[in-house]
Structure 1
Amino acid sequence: MIYSAAKLRERLEVLHGEYLKAGSRKHLNQMVLIGHSMGGLVSKSQVQDSKDKLWVNVFGTTPDRLNLPQAQLDSLRTYLEYKANPHVSRVVFVATRIGAAISPRAGAGPLAAGWSACLPT
């Protein structure tokens, strides 16, 4: 999921740049993501700041306490550190179990609860 979230973040940035070049700015910062199941979790990562939570979940500590070469730390930062995408204004979750899929240690919490909705089938 971490890899997929990073790839989505990259692709959304490319898409945003393409719309800027085309001169289409009316709704440029109002992207809406719709994610089903695991896609919902990947989409959720676009509206959150990771802080050091992923470092702690993966390595048991923060990056400054790891004895890794700077090149490796920089490579890992691509996947483990991110800010909320300012171009995404909303996320719609479909059949995504936010609270059960990610533990509170991994970052699920009030933000996730505020963004999720139960849709009738």
Structure 2
Amino acid sequence: MIESLRADPVIRQNYQIWFFSYASGYPYPASAAFLRTQLDLINARYPDHKRIVVIGHSMGGMISRTLMTDSGMKLWYATYEKPPAETPFAEESTRQLMAKALIFEHRPEISRVIFASPSHRGADMATNFFGRLGSKIIGGPRNLLMGDTSALDLARPGSSGSQLKKMPNSIDFLDPDNRFVRNLAELPLAPGIPYHTIIGDRGKGGNKDRTPPVSSDGIVPYWSSHLDGAQSELIIPSGHWSNQHPRGIAEVNRILRLHLEED
């Protein structure tokens, strides 16, 4: 996709493409918090930069969703009973990390978002045998909390009703019953930020709700990727890597050109 976009003189003249890299095993609320910190640094270094068009694929789409959202205290109280200042974390750094991951505002520098195969509401594959096996292999990102388990000990029980024994990883955050995933999906998007969705169905079609056969890109079903209010939604005969499909690339090109006209 990037090489195709850069080959277009209109795109090349008007856009500078940047990347945000993150550990795919990390829980994506933490990765989103890291991205917001990086955006703060960009704004400080380049205060006059143009507003940003975000393209988020798969989990990147979930991270991008947080950039369009004002969480208030909803996500915090879905995880902890008391406010941050009254929650007795063992380390202050843990309190700061959890607050940044669970309490945030939409980013005013974001002007448009393009979602490609996002999993806004999770995916059932995270709870089947292979998903559980993958989660076990990945394990919990221990270095994220530097050995401080108080964030887990103080958290409300997980979707299974049991206390968390490890920091949830990326696959755990694909569980449709994950409280963060479920509560974030219920939060409204900030007004004034247009967004678009590109979804794959492998050329098989299928039902858009949970009625079999379900439309899916092989990993994420349509009911998870769809967002009401999108300026456009394109379903292409692609697997999960819709960002590599020619029609997916062409759609991103179209949207970027549209943005130049409307911005």
Shorter-normalised TM range = 0.7 to 0.9
Q: 1:15 to 1:118 in 2, by over 3 A?
A: same
- CA distance in structure 2 between the partners assigned to 1:107 and 1:62 by the alignment: 22
Indicate yes or no: 2:35 matched with 1:4.
no
Alignment partner, residue 85 of structure 1? 107
| Corresponding residue pairs, total | 112
**Match 2:61 to one of 26, 40, 64:** 40
Alignment partner, residue 41 of structure 2? 14
Indicate yes or no: 2:178 matched with 1:63.
no
Residue 106 of structure 1 and its aligned partner are, at CA, apart by: 2.8
Alignment partner, residue 106 of structure 1? 184
Alignment partner, residue 119 of structure 1? 234
What secondary structure is seen at the aligned counterpart in 2 of 1:43? Answer: helix
User: Gapped runs of 5+ residues in structure 2?
Assistant: 1-27, 123-180, 190-226, 237-263
- CA distance in structure 2 between the partners assigned to 1:97 and 1:63 by the alignment: 29
* TM-score w.r.t. length of structure 2: 0.37
Structure 1 stretches of 4+ with a deviation exceeding 6 A read: none
- CA distance in structure 2 between the partners assigned to 1:12 and 1:64 by the alignment: 24
Q: 1:12 to 1:75 in 2, by over 3 A?
A: closer
Identity in percent: 29
What secondary structure is seen at the aligned counterpart in 2 of 1:118? Answer: strand
Q: What is the alpha-carbon root mean square deviation over aligned residues? A: 2.7
Q: Is the 8 A contact 2:84 2:95 kept in 1?
A: no
- TM alignment of 1:18-29, pairs within 5 A: 18-20=45-47, 25=48, 28=50
Instruction: Please state which structure has a larger fraction of its residues in helix.
Output: 1
Structure 1, 36-45 or 68-77: larger mean CA deviation: 68-77
Residue 67 of structure 1 and its aligned partner are, at CA, apart by: 4.2
User: Gapped runs of 5+ residues in structure 1?
Assistant: none
Which letter does structure 2 place at the counterpart of 1:45? T
- CA distance in structure 2 between the partners assigned to 1:109 and 1:78 by the alignment: 17
Q: Is the 8 A contact 2:59 2:118 kept in 1?
A: yes
- CA distance in structure 1 between the partners assigned to 2:235 and 2:95 by the alignment: 44
* TM-score w.r.t. length of structure 1: 0.73
Q: Is the 8 A contact 2:52 2:111 kept in 1?
A: yes
Q: Is the 8 A contact 1:34 1:93 kept in 2?
A: yes
Deviations 1:20-75 (Å, cap 9, x if unpaired)? 2xxxx3x53x211100111001011011111112212222x341695426935444
User: Which protein is bigger by CA-based radius of gyration?
Assistant: 2
Q: Is the 8 A contact 1:93 1:117 kept in 2?
A: no
- CA distance in structure 2 between the partners assigned to 1:86 and 1:120 by the alignment: 29
- CA distance in structure 2 between the partners assigned to 1:10 and 1:65 by the alignment: 21
